Amino acid sequence: MVQTKPNVFRRIYDWTLSLAEKRSAGRWLAAISFTEASFFPVPPDVLLIPLCLGDLRKALKFALICSIASVLGGAAGYAIGAFGWETVQELFYKYIPGFTAEKFDHLMIWYEQWGWPLVFLAGFSPIPYKIFTIASGVLGMAFPQFLIASAVSRSARFFIVAVLIAKFGEPMKVFIDKHFNKLALGFALLLVGGFAALKLL
């Protein structure tokens, strides 16, 4: 019987899950959470979920790491928008998924009408958070409002994920192992949906 080689997504999942057993797991999670809020294209949930599954007792700790690092990364994104956007915007438009001059211009109009609620929505949804953190800096949104909206929405998102896994961890792990390919496809569609939502702005 010929054994099929696991697909690349399965291998990445297995490798990421193994990080839960390493001392560097928290640092990896913090780094991804921080950079995702300003330029990195992969959301921290990709690492948070398998880390929580790998060690259910640390689920809330991982969510806390994720939340703090993401809010700090959001502040870095705000700083990019406030102090360096004129210099780096072409690089973002060229290399960072979700960034285009047209979408950014549309986002500016929405910000004038809605302000901080957009930051809250972006922090909790699959819409790329980095676009909103940088836009907040470009428009000069009051930093305390930005920080509070980011902290509440990002913490809620990550702690909800961690609590669900901590409560239903083992059955959820079995379910993920059994239906991984379908879940991976669904997660990919969710990310695509977040980017597609920007077209409505």
Report if residue 3 sits inside a domain: no
Report if residue 1 sits inside a domain: no
Among 16, 185, 37, 61, which Cα is nearest to 122's?
37
Report if residue 101 sits inside a domain: yes
Report if residue 166 sits inside a domain: yes
Report if residue 167 sits inside a domain: yes
How do residues 85-126 score in pLDDT, each as one tens digit? 888 888 878 777 667 777 777 777 777 777 777 777 777 766
Report if residue 57 sits inside a domain: yes
What's the CA gap between 201 and 197, in Å, rounded?
A: 7
How do residues 53-93 score in pLDDT, each as one tens digit? 777 788 899 999 999 999 999 999 999 988 988 888 888 78
Q: What sign does the dihedral 42-100-106-71 (CA atoms) show?
A: positive
Radius of gyration (C-alpha) of the chain in whole angstroms: 18
In Å, what is the CA distance from 181 to each residue of 44, 111, 187? 19, 38, 10
Helix 45-54 / helix 143-178 crossing angle, nearest 10 deg: 50
Put simply, whether the predicted model's pTM sits higher than 0.85 gets the answer: no
Report if residue 62 sits inside a domain: yes
| Res 51: pLDDT | 83
Report if residue 165 sits inside a domain: yes
Q: What is the residue range of 127's domain? A: 8-200
Extended strands (E) in 8-121: none
- How many separate domains does the chain show? 1
Percent of the chain past pLDDT 70, that is, above it, reads: 71
